[in-house]
Amino acid sequence: MTRSIRSINPAADGVFFVEGPASNWVVLVGDGRSALIDAGYPADLPLVEDSLRDVAGDVPLEAIVVTHGHSDHIGSANALVASHPGVRVFAGADELPNVRREVLHQVGVPDLVPQLLKPRFVSWAVHAVRAGGLGDVGVQQVEAVPASMTIAGHRIRAVTTPGHTPGHTLYELPDAHAVALGDSLVTGHAVSRREGLQTLHPMFHHDAVAAESAGATLARTYSGWTLMPGHGAIRKAGI
Ligand SMILES: [Zn+2]
Q: Is the dihedral of CA 49, 52, 53, 54 positive or negative?
A: positive
Domains in the chain, number: 1
pLDDT in tens, 28-58: 999 999 999 999 999 999 999 999 999 999 9
Give the Cβ contact number of residue 117 at 10 Å: 7
For residue 239, being part of any structural domain is answered with no
3-class state of residue 85 by DSSP: coil
Q: 195: domain range?
A: 7-229
Confidence class of residue 2 from pLDDT cuts 50, 70 and 90?
low
**Distance from the CA of 179 to the center of ligand 1, in angstroms?**
16
Stretch 93-120: mean pLDDT: 83
**Distance from the CA of 65 to the center of ligand 1, in angstroms?**
14
For residue 74, being part of any structural domain is answered with yes
Give the Cβ contact number of residue 158 at 10 Å: 21
In CATH, what number is assigned to the domain containing residue 39? 3.60.15.10
Residue type, 40: G
**Distance from the CA of 158 to the center of ligand 1, in angstroms?**
18
Work out the burial of residue 94: count CB atoms within 10 Å of its CB; fewer than 13 is exposed, 13-18 middle, 19 or more buried. Answer: middle
**Distance from the CA of 192 to the center of ligand 1, in angstroms?**
13
**Distance from the CA of 79 to the center of ligand 1, in angstroms?**
19
**Distance from the CA of 238 to the center of ligand 1, in angstroms?**
25
Confidence class of residue 105 from pLDDT cuts 50, 70 and 90?
confident
**Distance from the CA of 45 to the center of ligand 1, in angstroms?**
16
Stretch 180-200: mean pLDDT: 89
- pLDDT of 190 higher than 90: no
